[in-house]
Amino acid sequence: MRILITNDDGIEAPGIRWLARTVAHAGYDVVVAAPLSESSGASASMTAVVQDGKIVSEPRELAGCRGVPAFGVAASPAYIVLLALRDAFGPAPDLVVSGINRGANAGAAVVHSGTVGACLTAAHAGLHGLAVSLDVLTPAAASASSGGAAIAALDALDDEQHHWISGADLAVRLLPSLLHTPPGTVFNLNVPDLHVDGIRGLRQAHLARFGQVQMSIAEAGDGYVRTAVQAAEETLEEGSDLAALAENFAVVTPIRAPHEDDEVRINVGAIKVQTSAL
């Protein structure tokens, strides 16, 4: 089982080191390819830095991951997945694990997440995906500059102090269950920023209707708009991922790549299409 590990926080982020180390120690064949710079809020975008017709890719060595090939790539997470599926970093992966993200990717915010977007791209190709996030978000310190609703403006000096191992350990424990689901299934895992002994358990829950934070317009002027981010004020829905996180449970939600809604029928026959005569 060959696993691609990527993220949207960048190749230097501590979460990806902990994740790669733990997955490799569990006996999986691991390759790491992640953005050279912050790509949070990228969703499943296809962006890259091209020089002389080539996408920039640099070999990296991750601390504690001896023997694990790693690459910093000047591209979005979803683009990196597509490159990996075309053997850009060695043999194509069988599964994609993305994270560990700084901040929860829960509720409606998953639509913006580069962490989740990488897995949905893999799912569209028929692979399984596991998106892993650590709930380190402090809404008062959140920033709109990075995009998305699960972004924390974290002090780099404190970043190593979070409980990344809790997220990595639960991710490895979930992999066997993920592999027993239909191809194209993605597990979205959110873990409290607690020592494993402080986590009350693992729950399956639905996506909340909203994310942890919400954006508002603080000021709009001639030629500019200034945004602000604040904690969401909506009441937590019972049975949702955000409600479980608030009670110090880790939470997993199965999701799938977008597909057609077969419950909606459109009366296309009633819509006249003007065609030109040949």
Which DSSP state fits 103? S
Planar angle of CA 48, 51, 57, nearest 5 degrees: 60
pLDDT of residue 258: 86
pLDDT of residue 236: 74
pLDDT of residue 238: 86
pLDDT of residue 225: 85
| Residue that has been written with the tokens 């992640």 in this structure | 34
pLDDT of residue 142: 43
pTM of the predicted model as reported, rounded to 2 decimal places: 0.86
Closest CA to 27 of 176, 188, 201, 128: 176
Closest CA to 110 of 43, 201, 178, 196: 43
d(CA 49, CA 25): 33
d(CA 132, CA 18): 12
223 alpha carbon, distance to own chain's centre? 32
38 within 8 A of 7, measured Cβ to Cβ: no
pLDDT of residue 152: 41
pLDDT of residue 109: 84
242 alpha carbon, distance to own chain's centre? 16
d(CA 102, CA 16): 10
Which tokens in the block code for residue 193?
Answer: 């920023």
Which tokens in the block code for residue 251?
Answer: 């939470």
pLDDT of residue 91: 97
Which tokens in the block code for residue 108?
Answer: 């409606």
pLDDT of residue 52: 84
pLDDT tens digits in sequence order for the chain, 278 residues long: 999 999 999 999 999 999 999 999 999 999 999 999 888 888 888 888 787 888 999 999 999 999 999 999 999 999 999 999 999 999 999 999 999 999 899 988 899 899 999 999 999 999 999 999 999 865 444 443 333 333 444 444 478 889 999 999 999 999 999 999 999 999 999 999 999 999 999 999 999 877 555 566 777 888 888 876 555 555 677 889 999 999 999 999 999 988 888 899 999 989 988 777 65
Query: CA-based Rg of the chain, rounded to a whole angstrom?
Result: 20
Cis before 217? omega within 30: no
d(CA 75, CA 56): 8
